[in-house]
C-alpha cells in the first residue's frame, strides 16, 4: 500500500523505550526508576482525592505547581511551564525551535529521543561526540554546533551519567546563537545544577522531571524554567490540558515533602558509591556518575554479553549497541536486595 505518511515519518525508526518486562523475580535496573517508593504524601492524596472534582477540566497551566516551583527558585510562575513528563516539554521545544531549515545539535552518546523528535520535524541532527572513557565535552563544541538553532545539553548526561564543568556550560550558553536546553533529568543526584543559567540568560531552558528523583515515573510530570518570553512561546503549542488534575495534586504533594525527598536522594547516592566500588572490585570500569545509574564496562569490554548473561538470570540492565556505547551496560541503582542480586550474578559471570 502507498504510504500516506509524511516522508519524514516513514524515514524514522521511532524511539524505543527501555523494556518493561513481566518476568517472575525480575530485577529491573534498565530505565532509571527510583528504587524507593514516592513520598507517603502521594498516597494521602490518592486516598482523599474527591473524584467528583474530575467532572471539570484541570487547570490548563497547572498554576499551583508553577507557583510552588517559582517560589522555591526565586522566580515568577511566568518562568515555568509544566509538562506531561519532560518528554511532553521536549515535544513542545522541538516543534518550536526545529524545522527543515533549523538544525538541532546534541551530544553523542546522549538521550536518543532528541534525534527522533528532530526527525519528525525534518530537522538536521548534528551529533557532537564526547571523549572516549571520560565522556567529556570536546573543546570545539561551539564550532560544531554553530549551524544549529537548538543545542541540547544533558547534564548529568544519559546514558553515561557524568556531568560537565558548570563554567564551560555557562560559556557555551553565553556564546551560542540559539536556544540551549539543559536537560536536568538527573540533576537532583548531582553536585550542582544549571538553574541559575535559566534564571539569568534569555536563551536557556532548564528541564526537570518527577520521574527519577521523585520516584514518580508512572505519574508523568516534568517542568521547564526559562525567560518569560520563551515560556509564553511554548505555551502556544502546549496541549490545552496536558497535565491532568490528579497528577497536579500528587506532584505538588511530593514536591512539598522536602525532607522525604532529601533523605531518599541521599540514599540513592550512598548506594551508587557502594555499587561503584563493588563493580570496580570485579574489574569493571565505571564512568564517574552524578546520576542514579552507572555506565559500566565489564572486564572483557563486551557490553552485549554482559546484558544477555544478566538477562538470563532475570536481571535487566540497558545495553546500547554502537561504537561509543557497545562496550558498556547502563545499570540503574536499585534497592539493597536488587544491587546484591546484580552483584551475585555478575560474580558468577566474571569470577
Ligand atoms: C528519563 C529522562 C527524561 C524523560 O523524563 P520524563 O519526565 O519521564 O518524560 C528526559 N531526559 C532524560 C535525559 C531522561 O533520562
Averaged pLDDT score across all residues of the chain: 97
- Please compute the mean of the pLDDT values over residues 241-253 and round it to a whole number: 98
Q: How far is the CA of 123 from the centre of ligand 1 (A)?
A: 21
Q: Which residues line ligand 1 (CB under 6 A)?
A: 85-87, 111, 154, 158, 183, 185, 209, 211, 217, 222
Q: How far is the CA of 350 from the centre of ligand 1 (A)?
A: 32
119 pLDDT band (50/70/90 cuts)?
very high
Entry pTM:
0.97
Closest C-alpha to 338, from 26, 18, 38, 31:
26
- Which of 6-10, 156-160, 247-251, 297-301 is predicted least confidently? 6-10
φ/ψ of 198, rounded to 5, equals -70, -30
pLDDT for position 204: 98
The predicted-structure confidence for 283-326, as pLDDT tens digits, reads as follows 999 999 999 999 999 999 999 999 999 999 999 999 999 999 99
Cα-based distances in Å from 289 to 164, 272, 299: 11, 8, 19
pLDDT for position 149: 98
Give the DSSP letter of residue 119: H
Looking at 131-261, which runs of residues are DSSP E strands? 148-154, 179-183, 204-209, 222-225
- Please compute the mean of the pLDDT values over residues 136-158 and round it to a whole number: 98
Ligand 1 atom at shortest distance from the alpha carbon of 83: 7
Ligand 1 atom at shortest distance from the alpha carbon of 154: 13
Measured by CA distance, the residue closest to atom 11 of ligand 1 is: 185
Mutate to test the pocket of ligand 1, among 16, 84, 87 (most ligand atoms within 8 A of CB): 87
Mutate to test the pocket of ligand 1, among 32, 209, 333 (most ligand atoms within 8 A of CB): 209
pLDDT for position 17: 82
Residue 52: partners with Cβ closer than 8 Å, 6 or more residues away: none
CB atoms under 10 Å from CB of 49, counted, come to: 14
Closest C-alpha to 105, from 138, 127, 136:
127
Q: How far is the CA of 38 from the centre of ligand 1 (A)?
A: 17
Q: How far is the CA of 186 from the centre of ligand 1 (A)?
A: 9
Cα-based distances in Å from 40 to 47, 52, 261: 11, 23, 11
pLDDT for position 62: 98
Closest C-alpha to 182, from 210, 205, 212:
205
pLDDT for position 164: 98
Q: How far is the CA of 348 from the centre of ligand 1 (A)?
A: 33
Q: Residue 125 is inside which H or E element, if any? A: strand 125-129
Q: How far is the CA of 208 from the centre of ligand 1 (A)?
A: 8
Ligand 1 atom at shortest distance from the alpha carbon of 88: 9
Q: Which residue is associated with the grid cell 528523583?
A: 213
What is the C-alpha separation between 213 and 66, in angstroms, rounded?
Answer: 18
The predicted-structure confidence for 56-109, as pLDDT tens digits, reads as follows 999 999 999 999 999 999 999 999 999 999 999 999 999 999 999 999 999 999
pLDDT for position 13: 86
- Please compute the mean of the pLDDT values over residues 32-50 and round it to a whole number: 97
Cα-based distances in Å from 185 to 58, 163, 334: 25, 12, 17
Cα angle, residue 196 at apex, residues 195 and 201 outer, rounded to 5°: 105
- Please compute the mean of the pLDDT values over residues 323-332 and round it to a whole number: 96
What is the C-alpha separation between 73 and 50, in angstroms, rounded?
Answer: 30
Q: Are 154 and 183 in contact (CB under 8 A)?
A: yes
pLDDT for position 16: 82
* 192, pLDDT greater than 80: yes
Q: How far is the CA of 250 from the centre of ligand 1 (A)?
A: 19
Measured by CA distance, the residue closest to atom 14 of ligand 1 is: 185
pLDDT for position 14: 86
- Please compute the mean of the pLDDT values over residues 332-342 and round it to a whole number: 97
* 231, pLDDT greater than 90: yes
* 179, pLDDT greater than 90: yes
Cα-based distances in Å from 252 to 86, 205, 217: 16, 21, 15
Measured by CA distance, the residue closest to atom 1 of ligand 1 is: 185
Ligand 1 atom at shortest distance from the alpha carbon of 90: 10
Ligand 1 atom at shortest distance from the alpha carbon of 211: 8
Q: What is the DSSP string of 252-311?
A: HHHHH-HHHHHHHHHHHHHHHHHHHHHHHHTT-EE----SSEEEEE-TTS-HHHHHHHHH
* 19, pLDDT greater than 80: no
* 18, pLDDT greater than 90: no
Share of the chain above pLDDT 70, in %: 100
Mutate to test the pocket of ligand 1, among 18, 34, 83, 86 (most ligand atoms within 8 A of CB): 86
- Please compute the mean of the pLDDT values over residues 134-138 and round it to a whole number: 98
SS (H, E, C) 48-117: HCCHHHHHCCCCCCCHHHHHHHHHHHCCCHHHEEEECCHHHHHHHHHHHHCECCEEEEEEECCCCHHHHH
In whole angstroms, how large is the CA radius of gyration of the chain? Answer: 20
Amino acid at each position: 500500500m502507498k504510504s500516506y505518511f509524511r516522508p519524514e515519518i516513514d524515514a524514522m525508526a521511532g524511539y524505543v523505550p527501555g523494556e518493561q518486562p513481566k518476568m517472575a523475580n525480575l530485577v529491573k535496573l534498565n530505565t532509571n526508576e527510583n528504587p524507593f517508593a514516592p513520598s507517603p504524601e502521594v498516597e494521602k492524596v490518592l486516598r482523599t482525592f474527591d473524584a467528583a472534582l474530575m467532572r471539570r477540566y484541570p487547570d490548563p497551566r497547572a498554576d499551583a505547581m508553577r507557583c510552588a516551583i517559582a517560589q522555591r527558585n526565586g522566580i515568577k510562575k511566568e518562568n515555568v511551564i509544566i509538562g506531561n513528563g519532560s518528554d511532553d516539554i521536549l515535544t513542545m521545544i522541538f516543534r518550536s525551535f526545529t524545522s527543515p531549515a533549523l538544525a538541532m545539535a546534541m551530544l553523542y552518546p546522549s538521550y536518543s529521543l532528541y534525534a527522533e523528535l528532530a526527525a519528525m520535524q525534518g530537522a538536521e541532527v548534528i551529533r557532537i561526540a564526547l571523549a572516549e572513557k571520560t565522556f567529556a565535552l570536546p573543546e570545539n563544541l561551539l564550532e560544531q554546533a554553530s549551524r544549529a538553532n537548538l543545542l541540547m545539553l544533558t547534564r548529568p548526561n544519559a546514558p553515561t551519567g557524568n556531568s560537565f564543568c558548570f563554567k564551560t556550560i555557562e560559556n557555551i550558553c553565553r556564546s551560542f546563537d540559539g536556544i540551549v536546553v539543559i536537560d536536568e533529568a538527573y540533576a537532583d543526584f548531582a553536585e550542582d545544577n544549571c538553574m541559575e543559567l535559566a534564571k539569568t540568560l534569555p536563551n536557556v531552558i532548564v528541564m526537570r522531571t518527577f520521574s527519577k528523583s521523585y520516584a514518580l515515573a508512572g505519574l508523568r510530570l516534568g517542568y521547564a524554567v526559562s525567560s518569560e518570553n520563551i515560556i509564553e512561546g511554548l505555551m502556544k503549542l502546549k496541549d490545552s490540558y496536558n497535565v491532568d488534575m490528579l497528577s497536579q495534586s500528587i506532584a505538588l504533594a511530593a514536591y512539598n515533602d522536602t525532607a522525604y525527598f532529601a533523605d531518599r536522594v541521599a540514599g540513592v547516592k550512598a548506594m551508587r558509591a557502594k555499587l561503584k566500588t563493588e563493580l570496580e572490585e570485579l574489574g569493571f570500569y565505571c564512568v564517574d556518575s552524578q546520576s542514579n545509574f552507572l555506565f559500566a564496562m565489564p572486564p572483557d569490554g563486551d557490553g552485549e554479553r554482559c546484558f544477555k548473561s544478566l538477562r538470563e538470570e532475570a536481571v535487566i540492565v540497558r545495553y546500547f549497541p554502537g561504537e561509543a556505547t557497545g562496550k558498556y551496560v547502563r545499570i540503574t541503582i536499585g534497592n539493597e536486595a536488587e544491587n546484591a542480586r546484580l552483584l551475585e550474578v555478575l560474580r558468577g559471570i566474571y569470577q
